[in-house]
Amino acid sequence: MINKVVSGAEEAIKDISDGTTLMLGGFGLCGIPENCIQALVNKQVKNLTCISNNAGVDDFGIGLMLRQRQVKKMISSYVGENAEFERQLLSGELEVELIPQGTLATRCLAAGYGMPAIFTPAGVGTEVAEGKEVRNFDGKDYLMEYAFDADFAIVKAWKGDTAGNLIFRSTSRNFNPVMAMAGKITIAEVEELVEAGELDPDYIHTPGIYVHRIFQGRDYEKRIEQRTVRTKSL
Amino acid sequence: MAFSKEEIAKRIAKEIKDGYYVNLGIGIPTLVANYIPKGINVVLQSENGLLGMGPFPFEGEEDADLINAGKQTITTLPGSSIFDSAMSFGMIRAQKVDLTILGAMEVSENGDIANWKIPGKMVKGMGGAMDLVASAKNIIVAMQHINKAGESKLLPKCTLPLTGVKCIKKIVTELAVLDILPEGGFKLLERAPGVSIGFIQQSTAGRLIVEGEIPEMRLD
């Protein structure tokens, strides 16, 4: 087996430089690559284009990079919950492309499947459609949306093996598998790194061919954005 | 009396049928889950990648890896399944989801909806709303009929950037239940108890169609 293991986040992101286009997995703060984000913050690379469903919160996730003005452009579907983001956007310091969530996911999928574009009805007749090719199939209009072209994809998985195979846990799966497929170079940080052969091949979500670097992550905070509970009735 | 948010949710819940897969948006739609009729089997889809969304966890049992599209901690149920975001919107686009319930800032009399952006003011993004309204075969909008300034949100034409065009067919507000007719216009079906047709007329800027007796909404 080809060994994909690197020592940690710092080594994994060593060649990410100013002006790079990055994909970052996660939905809200769920399933985000915490270690790599911290390493990017420490490295202080600038002018990044980040493709990520959300932009973190003020003091966690991609919000940490926004705070240091490391991000030139965000491509996301939903960016509420981040006051600093909203401020930079309204003041024009940050460029933002908002796209429908399904379009975001499927443009990742297309990249990972080797397809140049997809057709989706999402956004037809709205400002999202501006400048895009419209095609009619069976009486319904669809927008042509291109596959993403990202230099790096950074994902977080629950378990991974030395060959780069990944298993995600619960809804922290979200965008991670499709982004893992879409990066020219894909970096995976995992909660538990095991030897090749220890994971059942039938239960792999992302085959190692899509993963170029993998490392054992550490100190996961896994912050909860909306803690909602019910009380036990007696 | 105009309905509360809970009562709007309760009325919408009556539209849910046995065997439905349902996607609930953020806000009033989330409340609908509390009023699903007893004795029917319904599966809730959360577009971050879950079918079979269960109730909030008991205190101390929250799992940071298990959230809904509103980023709230939730639980799974027997028979739940988890998948990635592309598959989640794949099943939405392929119309496997039977009913979508979502909120709106404005709806027009030809079925256009605006709910994602107030230029220069609010920049949150559309999330999955554009995908949902473009593909869902059955959408119910849960919204306030009039805004805080007393202005109608049911309009001849939306003023805010659109989320989707000609896609809304049913609306439930604090005042009324309305259908949007294929040829355009809000057809009044039911009114909240004690709310007069005159008041609904006055609160609807778009074309309101009133034919025959309009019954009061019932919640039981």
pLDDT digits (tens, 9 = 90+) for B15-42: 999 999 999 998 899 999 999 999 999 9
Is residue B58 a part of any domain in this protein?
no
Please indicate if any CB of chain B lies within 8 Å of the CB of A70.
no
**Residue range(s) defining the domain that contains residue B108:** 5-32+85-209
Task: Give how many domains chain B has, as a whole number.
Answer: 1
Domains of chain A: 9-118+147-216 (3.40.1080.10)
pLDDT score of A85? 85
CA distance B77 to B43: 10
Catalytic residue among B6, B7, B47, B190: B47
pLDDT digits (tens, 9 = 90+) for A13-39: 999 999 999 999 999 999 999 999 999
Is residue B53 a part of any domain in this protein?
no
Q: Which residues of A touch B89 (CB under 8 A)?
A: 101-102, 105-106
User: Which 18-37 residues of chain B touch chain A by CB within 8 A?
Assistant: none
Is residue B131 a part of any domain in this protein?
yes
pLDDT at B122 over 80: no
> What predicted TM-score, i.e. pTM, was given to this entire model?
0.96
User: Which 6-65 residues of chain A touch chain B by CB within 8 A?
Assistant: 27-31, 53
pLDDT digits (tens, 9 = 90+) for B77-118: 999 999 999 999 999 999 999 999 999 999 999 999 999 998
The shortest CB-CB distance from B123 to any of A30, A79, A171 is to A79
pLDDT score of B103? 96
Is residue B216 a part of any domain in this protein?
no
**Chain B: nearest CA to A40, how far in angstroms?**
23
DSSP one-letter string for A42-84: HHT--SEEEE-S---BTTBTHHHHHHTT-EEEEEES--TT-HH
Q: Which residues of A touch B56 (CB under 8 A)?
A: 228-230
Average pLDDT, chain A: 96
pLDDT digits (tens, 9 = 90+) for B131-176: 999 999 899 999 999 988 889 999 999 999 999 999 999 999 999 9
CA distance A184 to A150: 6
CATH code assigned at B139 = 3.40.1080.10
pLDDT digits (tens, 9 = 90+) for A66-103: 999 999 999 999 998 788 888 888 888 999 999 999 99
Please indicate if any CB of chain A lies within 8 Å of the CB of B110.
no
Annotation says B59 is catalytic: no
Banded model confidence at residue A234, pLDDT cuts 50, 70, 90: low
B167, B102 contact by CB (below 8 A): no
